[in-house]
Amino acid sequence: MGIELREFMNWARRRKTFASLLVGATLAIGILIGAIVPGGALARRAEGPSGAAMLAVPEPVALSNAFSGITKRVEPAVVNISTTQVLQRPKSAGKSHNFGNNEDDLLNRFFNSPDDSPDAERSIGSGVIVDKKGFILTNQHVIDGATRIQVSLDADSRRFTAHVIGSDKETDLAVIKIDTDQDLPVAPLGNSDGVQVGDWVLAFGSPFGFSSTVTAGIVSAKNRAAEAEGQGQFQRFIQTDAAINPGNSGGPLVNMAGEVIGINTAIYTGSHGFEGVGLSMPSNVAIGIYNQLITTGKVTRGAIGITFDDRVSQNPVTMKELGAPYGIVVEATDPGSPAQKAGLQPEDVITSVNGQPVHNGYELVSPIAATPIGQTVQLHLIRGKQPKDITLTVEDRSKIVPTAFEPAESDTQDQSADNGQLGLHVQDLSSDLSQKLGLGKISAGANPGVVVTNVDPASFADDLEFHIGDVIQAINDVPVGNLAAYHREMSKLQPGQDVLFKVKRYDGGGDHVLIVPLGGTIPTASAQ
């Protein structure tokens, strides 16, 4: 039995060894066939006439998709904003041209190509939809002075005309709205207080007009002031090295949770392009401004009526002499202001507002500005090196802080010219001017019509292709021989009504005068 057992075990080992060799040989043959036969066949199929091997497209490799995932969620809510803005004319010409005073210059304008004297500037910007009904956050400077605002959505060929809900120059933020027949995609807003230096962020927008553009970077700094660029005291930015260029203004800065934590506002540059320093208004500021604008159309801020210089408060010698470790030094109080009523004095050092330390002007102004009008704030200050607490009632900043004088419209309007209804500026046609325009001499007592002195870009008149120098002779077949008759007929026009102007125009390419009918439908207010 012992011999038989040993023989059986030897046989089993030999069988196992044979099986292993057989499997190994099979694998080797398979590898050889896969490497030689298909490779050789493929090589023969892939060779071009010159003998060079053809290149094959490899299988796509799935790498990190965090950025692409955020982009797919946020980008549909990012819009391109294009505006048309009236350019400021030379002071010698004024808002409306007066042919009687400056005929030669205006005649040159009339006979030259429109390209020689552009009347409008077209610019681009970005925005982000924050409400499905079409409310969009953007920068105030993107839409400032625009006569027409058009919005393009991602993957939508249509262009929507937007109207301004409200804007705030102090923070350079604005809210505009477009009207659609469907709910729009919305980008969620995040809490910018949670942003940390070094966090990854994405910037969305339309740099140089290239819509649907996204760039990546990190948060480089927080609470960055921009006084060197002439920015206001209510602006403290998130600084990022994500590429922000002209056209990115108003677009969102997004964190890795896909939340908007800033509105891209400005860049520091010496070349008008990206140099690694972009500034974004924090979302918490934008939310507060947005809520006020959609509620009242304007931003109301509180104030107490003091004057200070941030630089004085940063001087360690000054602060030591005043006995304060930090704070804002009061230089003066406005007459009748809450500060004067509460007894604040020059050289008082305000060290906290409502228990929150004050190290700079922003930390003083911001909480007071955010306090509802009529409510109180608690100030802790150092006076004569002794601590003191004062309670003040906050008042409306616009009633305390003087604003730049703006003349009334009646002070600047040329009473001899039309006020620009439908984008037309006109005046009575004199006999001398009529001859210079090639329209012939006007007989005594005749009422030849009114001459167009200016056409507002992007206006209804511009759409109808009125020219400077056109003479309007009739409106809806009713003669308008002078300015009074013109005003009378224009006042009868209503939104949605068809209107036909009979226009006399000098043919600069020939020796005769054209009679040109210019007609259209009066736009509604929302379409202006």
Can you give 24-37 as a three-state secondary structure string?
A: HHHHHHHHHHHHHH
Using an 8 Å Cβ cutoff, are 290 and 176 in contact? no
- Pairwise CA distance, residues 173 & 145, whole Å: 14
Under DSSP, is residue 241 helix (H, G, I), strand (E, B) or coil? coil
Within 10 Å of residue 492's Cβ, how many Cβ atoms?
11
Task: Give domain 315-400's CATH number out of 2.30.42.10, 3.40.50.880, 3.30.70.100, 3.30.300.30.
Answer: 2.30.42.10
**pLDDT value at position 525?**
54
Under DSSP, is residue 446 helix (H, G, I), strand (E, B) or coil? coil
Using an 8 Å Cβ cutoff, are 303 and 396 in contact? yes
Catalytic residue among 206, 249, 280, 352: 249
Q: Does domain 67-305 have CATH number 2.40.30.10?
A: no
**pLDDT value at position 142?**
93
Walk along the chain (528 residues) and give the pLDDT tens digit of each residue. Answer: 455 556 656 656 666 665 566 556 655 555 555 554 444 444 455 566 778 888 888 887 766 788 999 999 999 999 999 988 765 454 433 344 444 444 444 444 443 434 444 456 677 899 999 999 999 999 999 999 888 899 999 878 788 999 999 999 989 999 999 998 899 999 999 999 999 999 999 999 999 888 889 999 999 999 887 654 444 567 789 999 999 988 999 999 999 999 999 999 988 776 666 777 899 999 999 999 999 999 999 999 999 999 888 888 888 888 888 999 999 999 888 889 999 999 999 989 999 999 999 998 889 998 999 899 999 999 999 999 999 999 999 999 888 865 433 333 333 334 344 557 888 999 888 777 777 766 667 665 567 889 998 888 878 888 888 988 889 999 998 999 889 999 999 999 998 898 989 888 876 544 556 778 888 888 875 443
Which residues are bridge partners to 272 per DSSP?
none
What stretch of H or E contains 296?
helix 283-296
Catalytic residue among 141, 206, 313, 470: 141
Using an 8 Å Cβ cutoff, are 352 and 379 in contact? yes
Handedness of CA 493, 498, 501, 502 (dihedral sign): negative
**pLDDT value at position 135?**
97
Tokens of 179: 């009207």
Under DSSP, is residue 65 helix (H, G, I), strand (E, B) or coil? coil
**pLDDT value at position 17?**
63
- Pairwise CA distance, residues 456 & 336, whole Å: 44
Q: Is 172 a catalytic residue?
A: yes
Q: Is 141 a catalytic residue?
A: yes
Catalytic residue among 96, 168, 172, 192: 172
Q: Is 199 a catalytic residue?
A: no
CATH architecture assigned to 409-527: Roll (2.30)
**pLDDT value at position 71?**
93
Alpha helices in 138-207 (DSSP H): 140-143
| R_g of the chain computed on alpha carbons | 36
- Phi-psi category of residue 361: left, alpha or beta, with phi > 0 → left and psi -120 to 50 → alpha: alpha
Q: What is the dihedral of CA 341, 346, 352, 354, to 10 degrees?
A: 10
Distance, CA of 143 to chain centre: 6
Which residues are bridge partners to 135 per DSSP?
131, 177
Which residues are bridge partners to 212 per DSSP?
none
